[in-house]
Structure 1
Amino acid sequence: MNIVVFGANGLTGRLVVEQACAERHTVTAVTRHPETFPLTGPLLRVVAGDVYDPVAVERAVAGHDAVISVLGVPFGKKPVTTYSAGITHITEGMVKHGVRRLVAVTSTVLFDEPAPGENFFFRKALEPLVMRFMGRTVYDDMRRMEAIVRGTDLDWTVVRPGGLFDASVVSDYQVGASRLPGRYTARPDLAHELLQQAVDDRQSHAYIDVRTTQNTPNVLELIRKEAVSDKAGKRV
């Protein structure tokens, strides 16, 4: 299968590319900085491209069977448009070139329902703090992105992970069509599910939660690690 990955140089994007190549898919990794992309291989093509550039996006999409969007930006106070602008150009390119399958990442908080089984502090204080203040501009643009995706007639799936953290291998993670118990999603698990969704389109027009249940961090560990990733601009 020919797969193009946008946001390929992010922490999850690299894992998607690595796993896809390991499964013998032909992969195009799109990044603004191809010179810093750490992966190589006979099945991999790395191309320069910015999702704000519709011409570059269209060229990258052409000739592929599926698109995986792992776009991500760090939390901040400034308005965010990366998700909505990026997906606009991606979907326009897909329509022009007849590419049907799209898998994109947003967040579990967009289910707009309480976290199952969570304590009062997490539901009423910690998560609202992240949603309404720390990550408000990011989540606002994720909602715009999802609305754009819903407005297409593409075969789309949106994957909504929990708090992301690093891990060394893919675990026996859980997948559901509604918000799952638990707070966290390991990046290898997210990458694995994105790839599976791209290859198998049985869950088209669906929102999928991915939840890691093994060796998850505590809240303080996650905040500390993700703060470092945020500063590097590689949150997803």
Structure 2
Amino acid sequence: MRIVVFGANGPTGRLLVEQALAEGHTVTAVTRDPARFPLEHPALTVAEADVHDAAAVASVIAGADAVLSALGVPYGRQPITVYSDGATNILAGMRATGVRRFACVSSSALDPAAGPHGGFFFERVLQPVIVNVFGKQLYADMRRMEAIVSASEVDWTIVRPSGLFDAPGVSEYDYAERYTPGAFTSRADLANVLLRQATEDDYARKIVAVSTSAGAPTVRELIVKEALGKK
């Protein structure tokens, strides 16, 4: 299977490319700066394209069996359009080239009503500050992306992880439509769920959640590690 990965040079994207190659797929890793992409493999093509460039996006999609988007950007105060522009141009490229299967990364933070995740402090204090203050622009664009994707005619899946953290490999995780209870998702597990969408259609035209169920940090542990830089 030929899989095209957007956001391939991000932390989840690299894991997704590695896992896809390990499973024997042919992969096109799309990045704005191919010279900085660290992976090499006989079944790997590293392609240059900016998701804001519709023509470039369409050119790398042609001939694919599935398109997976691990696009991500840091929080910022300026308006963010990577997610919505990326979805618009990827979907247009898929229509132009006849590709049907698409999956992209969003966030469980967009749907707090789906169910509890990390207790009172996480749900009532930490997550609202992240979503409504630090990540206001980012999550607003994610919502635009979800609206664009869910209104499209392709066989889409939106994957919503919880708070992301690094782990040495794929572990035990919960994976279900709309809601899973965990507060955190390892990037390796997220990549694995994205890759599953290329070969499975159980969740076509659905929103799914994924959270790591074994070895995930507590809210306090992740704050200490990420915010204070301690192990």
How far apart, in 1, do the equivalents of 2:130 and 2:91 lie? 29
**Aligned partner of 2:68: which letter?**
I
Q: Describe the SS at the equivalent of 1:30.
A: strand
Does the 8 A contact of 1:176 with 1:209 survive in 2? yes
- Post-superposition offset of 1:119: 2.4
Post-superposition CA distance 1:57-104 (Å, at most 9, x none) = 000110101000011000111111000001100000000000000000
How far apart, in 2, do the equivalents of 1:43 and 1:226 lie? 35
- Post-superposition offset of 1:140: 0.3
Cα 1:20/1:227, change in 2 over 3 Å: farther
How far apart, in 2, do the equivalents of 1:62 and 1:225 lie? 42
Does the 8 A contact of 2:102 with 2:156 survive in 1? yes
Moved over 3 A (4+): 223-228
**Aligned partner of 1:187: which letter?**
R
Q: Does 1:181 align with 2:181?
A: yes
Gapped regions of structure 2 (runs ≥ 5): none
Post-superposition CA distance 1:39-61 (Å, at most 9, x none) = 11111000111001111100011
TM-score with structure 2 setting the length: 0.94
Does the 8 A contact of 1:102 with 1:157 survive in 2? yes
Q: Describe the SS at the equivalent of 2:113.
A: coil
- Post-superposition offset of 1:134: 1.0
In the alignment, what sits opposite 1:171?
A: 171
In the alignment, what sits opposite 1:198?
A: 198
Does the 8 A contact of 1:160 with 1:210 survive in 2? yes
Q: Describe the SS at the equivalent of 2:60.
A: helix
Range with greater deviation from structure 2 (194-203 or 161-170): 194-203
Q: Does 1:6 align with 2:13?
A: no
Gapped regions of structure 1 (runs ≥ 5): 229-236
In the alignment, what sits opposite 2:104?
A: 104
**Aligned partner of 2:128: which letter?**
P
Number of corresponding residues: 229
**Aligned partner of 1:94: which letter?**
M
- Post-superposition offset of 1:23: 0.5
- Post-superposition offset of 1:202: 2.0
Range with greater deviation from structure 2 (50-59 or 177-186): 177-186
Cα 1:172/1:6, change in 2 over 3 Å: same
In the alignment, what sits opposite 2:45?
A: 45
Q: Structure with the greater relative contact order (CA < 8 A, sep ≥ 6): 1 or 2?
A: 1
**Aligned partner of 1:218: which letter?**
T
**Aligned partner of 1:83: which letter?**
Y
Q: Describe the SS at the equivalent of 2:213.
A: coil
Cα 1:221/1:98, change in 2 over 3 Å: same
* Percentage of matched positions with identical amino acids: 52
Q: Describe the SS at the equivalent of 2:203.
A: coil
Q: Does 1:161 align with 2:161?
A: yes
Cα 1:225/1:60, change in 2 over 3 Å: farther
Instruction: Please give the root-mean-square deviation of Cα atoms over the aligned residues, in Å.
Output: 1.7
Cα 1:217/1:91, change in 2 over 3 Å: same
Post-superposition CA distance 1:202-225 (Å, at most 9, x none) = 211111111101221233443465
**Aligned partner of 1:184: which letter?**
F
Cα 1:70/1:117, change in 2 over 3 Å: closer
Does the 8 A contact of 1:116 with 1:179 survive in 2? no
Q: How does 1:1-236 map to 2 (within 5 A)?
A: 1-113=1-113, 115-116=115-116, 118-223=118-223, 226=226
How far apart, in 1, do the equivalents of 2:123 and 2:175 lie? 21
